[in-house]
Amino acid sequence: MLSEQTRTIVKSTAPVLAEHGKTITTVFYSNMFEAHPELLNIFNQANQKQGRQQTALANTVYAAAVHIDNLEAILPAVEQIAHKHVSLGVKAEHYPIVGEYLLKAIKEVLGDAATDDIINAWAEAYGVIADVFISIENGMYEKAETQENGWSFFKDFTIARKVKESENITSFYLKPADGKNVPSYEAGQYITVRLAIPGEEFLFNRQYSLSQASRPDEFRISVKRESDNDPNGMVSVYLHENMNEGDTIEVSAPAGEFVLDTKRETPVAFVSGGVGITPMMSMFETVATQTPERPVSFLHAARNETLHAFDKDVQKYVATMDNAKYKTLYSDEPQGYITREILEDMVDASGEVYVCGPVPFMEKMISELRALGMSDEQIHYEFFGPAVALQSV
Which residues are catalytically annotated?
95, 137
The reply to whether 360 sits in an annotated binding site is no
Say whether residue 95 binds ligand HEM (CB under 6 A).
yes
The reply to whether 274 sits in an annotated binding site is yes
In the complex, the smallest distance separating the C-beta of residue 385 from ligand HEM, rounded to whole angstroms, is 7
Task: Tell me the DSSP string of 152-195.
Answer: SSEEEEEEEEEEE-SSSEEEEEEEETTS--PPP--TT-EEEEEE
Cα 243 vs. chain centroid, distance in angstroms? Answer: 23
Cβ-based nearer residue to ligand HEM, 84 or 294 = 84
Query: For ligand HEM, which residue of 26, 47, 50, 158 counts as binding (CB under 6 A)?
Result: 47
User: Is residue 252 within 8 Å of residue 87, measured between CB atoms?
Assistant: yes
Residue 227 burial (CB < 10 Å; 0-12/13-18/19+)? Answer: exposed
The reply to whether 278 sits in an annotated binding site is yes
In the complex, the smallest distance separating the C-beta of residue 74 from ligand HEM, rounded to whole angstroms, is 9
Cα dihedral 214→377→390→141 (10° resolution)? -30
Query: For ligand HEM, which residue of 27, 65, 82, 98 counts as binding (CB under 6 A)?
Result: 98
Cβ-based nearer residue to ligand HEM, 15 or 373 = 15
The reply to whether 87 sits in an annotated binding site is no
Cα end-to-end span (Å), the chain: 21
Say whether residue 104 binds ligand HEM (CB under 6 A).
no
| Helix-helix angle 94-110:54-66, to 10 degrees | 90
The residue range among 86-94, 223-231, 342-350, 374-382 that interacts with ligand HEM, by the rule CB under 6 A, is 86-94
The residue range among 37-45, 109-117, 213-221, 255-263 that interacts with ligand HEM, by the rule CB under 6 A, is 37-45
The reply to whether 152 sits in an annotated binding site is no
Return d(Cα 280, Cα 298) in angstroms, integer. Answer: 8
The stretches of 89-159 forming alpha helices (DSSP H) are: 94-110, 116-146
Return d(Cα 260, Cα 284) in angstroms, integer. Answer: 9
User: Is residue 325 within 8 Å of residue 294, measured between CB atoms?
Assistant: no
Binding footprint of ligand HEM, residue count (CB under 6 A): 24
Say whether residue 140 binds ligand HEM (CB under 6 A).
no
User: Is residue 257 within 8 Å of residue 79, measured between CB atoms?
Assistant: yes
**Which helix (H) or strand (E) segment is 154 a member of?**
strand 154-164
For residue 8, count other CB atoms closer than 10 A to its CB: 12
Say whether residue 191 binds ligand HEM (CB under 6 A).
no
In the complex, the smallest distance separating the C-beta of residue 77 from ligand HEM, rounded to whole angstroms, is 8
The reply to whether 330 sits in an annotated binding site is no
The reply to whether 206 sits in an annotated binding site is yes
In the complex, the smallest distance separating the C-beta of residue 88 from ligand HEM, rounded to whole angstroms, is 5
Return d(Cα 126, Cα 388) in angstroms, integer. Answer: 21
Binders in 291-350 for ligand HEM, by CB under 6 A: none
The residue range among 35-43, 116-124, 191-199, 357-365 that interacts with ligand HEM, by the rule CB under 6 A, is 35-43
User: Is residue 165 within 8 Å of residue 220, measured between CB atoms?
Assistant: no
The residue range among 54-62, 265-273, 288-296, 334-342 that interacts with ligand HEM, by the rule CB under 6 A, is 54-62
Return d(Cα 371, Cα 340) in angstroms, integer. Answer: 8
The residue range among 83-91, 113-121, 175-183, 362-370 that interacts with ligand HEM, by the rule CB under 6 A, is 83-91
Say whether residue 386 binds ligand HEM (CB under 6 A).
yes
The reply to whether 135 sits in an annotated binding site is no
Say whether residue 85 binds ligand HEM (CB under 6 A).
yes
Say whether residue 133 binds ligand HEM (CB under 6 A).
yes
Q: How far is CA 259 from CA 147, 162, 335, 352, 377, in A?
A: 18, 25, 31, 12, 13
What is the binding site for ligand HEM (CB under 6 A)?
A: 39, 42-44, 47, 53, 56-57, 60-61, 81, 84-85, 88, 90, 94-95, 98, 129-130, 133, 386-387, 390
